[in-house]
A and B are shown apart, each in its own frame.
Chain A
Amino acid sequence: MTVDKDDRDSTAPQRGSPIEFRLDLGSGVPTYLQIVHQVEHALRLGYLVLGDQLPKVRDVVSELAINPNTVLKAYKELETKGLAVGRPGQGTFIIEASLNQVALPELTELRRSLVSWVAAADAVGLDEDGIGALVANVLRDFRERRGGSADRRDAARHEAQGVA
């Protein structure tokens, strides 16, 4: 559920991008990551499709009053992930709309096993927060074992906000 910021300025409406970003100052998540997540989320939900243009840096900056380097860093991260590419003089465009998509049957199977696991945890007496903490812990260990400093940094930050 992306929430669009109220469009209250009288400047020309954004012709390029279907989405707008918002900033959650209290979450503790770095701004550039919030932007990356919002793009990924929009892709998942279909607000953004292949070929769409991401908001221009200038527009994001004048709307949210954030450092342009932050936006550039987010877009660079998206490029590293292979989701978008920057075209000089034109903007940044989505080139890959599928996000580590897991095929539907696998997804359904995973969901079913998760439901029974949660029921088992509840039966033992673990409450919601306890379940969340346990999952976060295991996720972190899993990532660390997988290696990579960037991932670790992301993991530490994800940990700070709870399960993504």
Chain B
Amino acid sequence: MTTLSTFALPVRAEEENLRPLPWRQMAWVTWRQHRTGLTAVTAMFAAIAVLLGVAGLHLHHAYAAAIACQPANSFACNNLVNTFNGMYGFVANGFIFQPVPALVGAFLGAPVLARELESGTFRFAWTQGFGRWRWTFAKVVGLGCVVTAVAGAISVLLSWYYQPYFPAGSQALYVSRELPLMASSPLGAGLFDLRGVTFAAWALAAFATGLLTGVLVRRVVPAIVATLVAYTGLAFAVGGILRQHYLAPLVTSKLNIPDSAWVLSQQWLTKAGRPASQSVLSHVLQGAPGQLFSKGGVPKSVNVWQYLVQHGYTQLTTYQPADRFWPFQWIEGGWLFALSVLLIAATVWLVRRRAA
């Protein structure tokens, strides 16, 4: 290379033009380093797709058969309805899919930085010419897009699967009556975040949480655990408390609330407008004719409510109507996305600032 002048070492020539470092060069590096995680996510997606596909086709056929059956209340047609209602009960309320975003986020997101910090390989990766914050940013954006895309695809499949349970403007069959109460509303806890955009948004949020815990905790297994815990906490908080307040709930004194509405609370008021206690109501109902009650003395049908209304009581129902499904989706998807961006920004900032 350089010639050895007499009794002196070669002097380094001035820098030649160095190659540029485009962002896409990180793509191969990211893929190679996270091959296992990405393969696992893809395999999981494929498995879910196959299962949903097979089961979904089954479900759709049964639904179509039950709908098309004439006459509507014959024995044969009721059989078809019962068949439909009996299908995949454990899947119907959606809870089985709830952990999916958490798992994807925790197992793909937490190791990204935690493994580098735990094993010491950041001393290699962050001293290369690419630089540490660009390295982090490229990885995070690349993997984040994959997570969102896979979750989005699963969510499309789920929407298709659950279609028979949420026919538009349905009155055709009371199929929804047989499902557990929560699932009958599209806004209900188990199903709301599987359809539309929120599934992908939750997955991205879990991924972003994993990244941040990874850089804070610096150990892979504790970071995964911390991510799962944080995600679970957030999911419960949102489902149980936050979601119902996205838009001011409607209050009505009508008795015929559609099954698809998400009932938040119900309350009986006296003529004077004060809350009526259970004992007062029971007292009033004691004078009611027997056919209003079912076994066990529990007032079940709307007729009981009408009886109480005739006696001057009002039922106030606070609820969210089903047609608010998409506004709620956008609201939840929106703030989750903003949260993800914030968490990712915090992660990149910490990487940039933090010392070894």
Contacts and interface: CB of A to CB of B under 8 A. Distances in A.
Q: Which 6 A-B pairs have the closest CB atoms?
A: A86-B6, A72-B7, A76-B7, A88-B6, A88-B5, A89-B3
B3 A75 contact: no
A136 interface: no
A72 B5 CA distance: 11
B18 interface: no
A75 B4 contact: no
Contacts of B4: 57, 88-89
Interface string B258-269: 000000000000
Grouping DSSP codes into helix (H, G, I), strand (E, B) and loop, the B interface class, with mixed when no group exceeds half, is: loop
Contacts of B7: 72, 75-76, 79, 86
Interface string A65-107: 0001100100110010000001111000000000000000000
18 contacts: A57-B4, A68-B9, A69-B9, A72-B7, A72-B8, A72-B9, A75-B7, A76-B7, A79-B7, A86-B6, A86-B7, A87-B6, A88-B3, A88-B4, A88-B5, A88-B6, A89-B3, A89-B4
Interface residues of A, number: 11
A139 B8 CA distance: 34
Interface in B1-54: 3-9
Contacts of A86: 6-7
B293 to A, nearest CB: 98
B6 to A, nearest CB: 4
Contacts of A68: 9
A88 B8 CA distance: 10
A72 B7 CA distance: 5
A87 B6 CA distance: 7
Given A68-B9, A89-B3, 4 more contacts: A75-B7, A87-B6, A88-B4, A89-B4
A86 B4 CA distance: 10
A79 B8 CA distance: 14
B318 to A, nearest CB: 82
Nearest to B9: A68
A89 B6 CA distance: 8
A76 B6 CA distance: 9
Nearest to A68: B9
A25 to B, nearest CB: 23
Interface string B177-206: 000000000000000000000000000000
Nearest to B5: A88
Nearest to B8: A72
Contacts of A89: 3-4
A75 to B, nearest CB: 6
Contacts of B8: 72
B334 to A, nearest CB: 63
B175 to A, nearest CB: 80
B11 to A, nearest CB: 13
A87 B8 CA distance: 12
Contacts of A79: 7
Interface in B286-318: none
Contacts of A88: 3-6
A87 B4 CA distance: 10
A77 to B, nearest CB: 10
Interface string A52-63: 000001000000
Contacts of A87: 6
Contacts of B3: 88-89
A57 B7 CA distance: 9
A122 to B, nearest CB: 47
Contacts of A72: 7-9
Contacts of B6: 86-88
Interface string A121-136: 0000000000000000
A137 to B, nearest CB: 35
A27 to B, nearest CB: 25
A89 B4 CA distance: 6
A88 B10 CA distance: 12
A82 to B, nearest CB: 15
